[in-house]
Amino acid sequence: MRMTRLPDTMSAVLGRIRLARVRRPVLAIAWAVVAVLAVLVFVAGPAAAATPPVQVASSLDEVLDHARNWLIGILSAVATVCLTVAGVRYVIASGDPGELEKAKAAFRAACLGYVVAMLAPVIVAILKSIVAA
């Protein structure tokens, strides 16, 4: 009689080993991100205290320009996070077709986010023309 399947305890141990191989790079990346953020917080702390108070916008044109700048920054940040997640998923996929497709979909979403961020000035210009008309 030949055993074709591993006992449940053995398959559970092998499953844990596979998860440990996947978790190590993810944990290393997470710790690196936390370290970079901690350094940025300590460096930006004194600089943030020296900033002048918030100024009130004098015109609608100025408000829309500020909105455009915020929109570009937020969209770029989200696209960068999406691109990072896609890269990590692609590396961790290790040949699994389902995971590779998810990583490719995340890459496409990141590219779309960057395109929308680049088009933000055009969107704000269209809004300006509508409001001024």
Residues 90-117: tens digit of each pLDDT: 888 888 888 889 889 989 988 988 888 8
pLDDT at 8: 56
Token digits for 46? 């004194």
- Assess whether pLDDT exceeds 80 at residue 80: yes
CB atoms within 10 A of CB 85: 16
pTM above 0.85, yes or no: no
Q: 78: part of which helix (H) or strand (E)?
A: helix 60-93
The three-state DSSP-derived secondary structure of 2-37 is CCCCCCHHHHHHHHHHHHHHHHHHHHHHHHHHHHHH
Domain boundary assignment for the chain: 8-47, 58-133
Looking at this protein, which amino acid is placed at residue 10?
M
Looking at this protein, which amino acid is placed at residue 104?
K
